[in-house]
Structure 1
Amino acid sequence: MTPLKLEFCGEWHEIQAGRVFTIGRESDLTIDDNPYLHRTFLTLSEDFGMWWLGNVGNLLSATVSDATGAVQAWLAPGAKLPIVFQTMHVMFSAGSTTYDFTIHAAEDYFNTSAAVVSSAGSTTILPVTLTSSQRLLVVALAENVLTRSVSGRGVIPSSAEAAARLGWNMTTFNRKLDNVCDKLDKIGVAGLRGGRGKLATNRRARLVEYAVATRLVGQDDLVLLDANAADGESSPSTPLPGSD
């Protein structure tokens, strides 16, 4: 089989068929010494004449998307996906840090320029309309990821840090975060709902992964943060109708 190529932090790795290439804290591709990251988290391997991305961790999940962001999948522990696009972006979070790398393959089995039908574990891009304040919230959470000059790693701010960046109080921030997550959950985006103990860092990180991977927000949206600061809106504690 034609080898795969993987790009991480500006470095390229070539993966040959006949062996399992590992990705993690202590692997063929050592991502970081982050203690929240599995020693071996993801694998790339060949089987049944195709390349596969597998999640061999037991806690972390990864967000996978094609080059256009037209299809997105959530790779849970124990799951694996065939690599069916020439370019696939992989994002995942460990603690407050988000990482990403890109897989380049020779074959392109699907064309995502048209609508894509959902399959198990994947989500097509459905019409998602964010209010101005919801978009501000997502951009504030994704700011560090979007401002990187080279892909690789970024930091997800705490709720308090993001609220301060926006000039909002915590009650407003949490309400709007709930609204955004509920909106995306209703169209089938996994990982945004759970028990009380699972709604802090994991939910924010998953929201950033999805928003960046599917191009829901991008670098062009960063100007909204400066515009918000310039407007001097200390807190949208009394939002206009429909602004949540």
Structure 2
Amino acid sequence: MASSITVEYCGEWYRVDPGDELVIGRDADLSIDADNQFLHRRFLTVVQVESMWWLVNIGSRLSATVTDADGTMQAWLAPEARIPLVFPETRVVFTAGPTTYDLAIHAESAQFQPIPSEDQPAGDSTVGAVPLTLSQKLLILALAEPMLLREGTGMSAVPTSAQAAERLGWPRTKFNRKLDNVCDKLDRMGVRGLRGGPGKLASNRRARLVEHAVFSRLVTAEDLPLLDSSAQENDDD
């Protein structure tokens, strides 16, 4: 029989025993931000199928980003998709309207233990595969700053393009051009959710960029001083 699993959100812990199910959403077992009408009433569910725990997207519009604790694995959980919860800790992040949420799922008996390479810390292989100019990194930091400043699970607002441009002291046109460059670069590398098109809101693209950058450790809290430094950004895109 599978062991229990626990979901952590905003300092609260929700235990799910074998045979039980935990539904996550605006009006669910784990109620997240009941005032946010962009969030599904029932969005995600943690459920046991035979001896395996699964995270299932039962929503119709929103997707979630799922990673292990070290950011070495990242998956895109679209509506009707599901993913097994095999790591000791699984991080889940998603955006509804202007707000980004993240939670952690802890397994008592994980079926997979990631083993970082001895010659590099976990996450370096992902970061190293995405060369960024300083200006591109500053742009991502300006968007990801609220999430990076907040420790643990919870919610944070994704800055608008105008707010992020003001934080950097850039004209709006420069910010938008560099945002296009960063999203195009990551899209070519297979990161989903960054390409524009009909029905693709700019806010969704910014939020998806933050989700990927934070949970793949493309940027970390240790990088935030760059935003306040006097160094000139590199404009070589």
For residue 196 of structure 1, report the CA deviation from its aligned partner: 4.9
User: Hey, what does 1:18 align to over in structure 2?
Assistant: 19
1:139-218 equivalence runs, <5 A: 139-218=141-220
Q: Which amino acid aligns with 2:82?
A: K
User: Hey, what does 1:3 align to over in structure 2?
Assistant: 4
Q: Percent identity?
A: 54
SS in 1 for 2:224: helix
Conserved? CA contact 1:89–1:100, under 8 Å = yes
Moved segments of 4+, more than 6 Å: none
Aligned length: 227
Q: Which amino acid aligns with 1:102?
A: A
- CA change 1:114–1:187 in 2 (3 A) is farther
Conserved? CA contact 2:146–2:156, under 8 Å = yes
Cα distance in 1, alignment partners of residues 115 and 179 from structure 2: 31
Any stretches of 5+ residues in structure 2 without a counterpart?
Answer: 118-124
User: Hey, what does 2:122 align to over in structure 1?
Assistant: none
TM-score (norm 2): 0.90
Conserved? CA contact 1:86–1:108, under 8 Å = yes
- Correspondence for 2:51 among 49, 52, 55: 49
Conserved? CA contact 1:71–1:112, under 8 Å = no
User: Hey, what does 1:223 align to over in structure 2?
Assistant: 225
Cα distance in 1, alignment partners of residues 116 and 219 from structure 2: 20
Q: Which amino acid aligns with 2:218?
A: L
Any stretches of 5+ residues in structure 1 without a counterpart?
Answer: 116-123
Cα distance in 1, alignment partners of residues 177 and 226 from structure 2: 20
SS in 2 for 1:165: helix
For residue 113 of structure 1, report the CA deviation from its aligned partner: 2.9
Cα distance in 2, alignment partners of residues 107 and 187 from structure 1: 34
1:107-122 equivalence runs, <5 A: 107-114=109-116
* Deviation sequence 1:101-132 (CA, Å, 0-9, x none): 000002333343358xxxxxxxx836111110
Conserved? CA contact 1:144–1:156, under 8 Å = yes
TM-score (norm 1): 0.88
Conserved? CA contact 2:65–2:75, under 8 Å = yes
CA RMSD of superposed structures (Å)? 1.7
